Amino acid sequence: MAHNPYLDQYRKASVAGATPLQLVVMLYDGCLRFMSAGQKAMEDKDLFKQNENLQKAQKILAELMSTLDMDKGGEVAANLFSLYTFAYNRLVEANIQDKPEYIAQAVEVMSQLRESWVELDAQQKRTHLEAAAA
């Protein structure tokens, strides 16, 4: 795929203008995209692409884990950490054992979490609009 400077500019602008919640959703989107690509590569028996994509998803999960504030986040942060760890471990096991069902389990967890973040973002936008209208 050719390098597209306009696409790079668009991505940078998207990230720069995103709220913290939108950035989290972007990370989830990337993680889900890499898991899907890893699963496809596994089906195609392309070990290099499988490994590359699953490791990219793992790096995103590691980033999500590292940004959790365990002191302020309390039980929510602890639960997220457990879910991220589960998904991370499933990807490692999937990559080692060539088990696409493990990727599917990680995708399920991350998809459900993504929807929660999207809903939280929508709620915050509604609250902001209501406050601005008052």
For the entire predicted model, the pTM comes to: 0.83
Distance from C-alpha of 40 to C-alpha of 44, rounded to nearest angstrom: 6
Distance from C-alpha of 47 to C-alpha of 52, rounded to nearest angstrom: 8
Q: pLDDT averaged over the chain?
A: 90
The pLDDT tens digits of the residues spanning 78-127 come to: 999 999 999 999 999 999 999 999 999 999 999 999 999 999 988 988 88
Q: For the chain, report the end-to-end CA distance as a whole number of angstroms.
A: 50
Domain 20-133 falls in which CATH fold? Four Helix Bundle (Hemerythrin (Met), subunit A) (1.20.120)
Torsion of CA 91, 94, 95, 97, to 10 degrees: 150
Question: Quick one: pLDDT at residue 124?
Answer: 86
Distance from C-alpha of 126 to C-alpha of 130, rounded to nearest angstrom: 6
Question: Quick one: pLDDT at residue 3?
Answer: 67
Side-chain half-sphere CA neighbours of 4 within 13 A: 6
Per domain, the residue ranges of the chain are: 20-133
**Is 107 within 8 Å of 37 (Cβ atoms)?**
no
Side-chain half-sphere CA neighbours of 52 within 13 A: 7
Radius of gyration of the chain (CA): 17
| Percentage of residues of the chain with pLDDT beyond 90 | 74
Distance from C-alpha of 58 to C-alpha of 46, rounded to nearest angstrom: 18
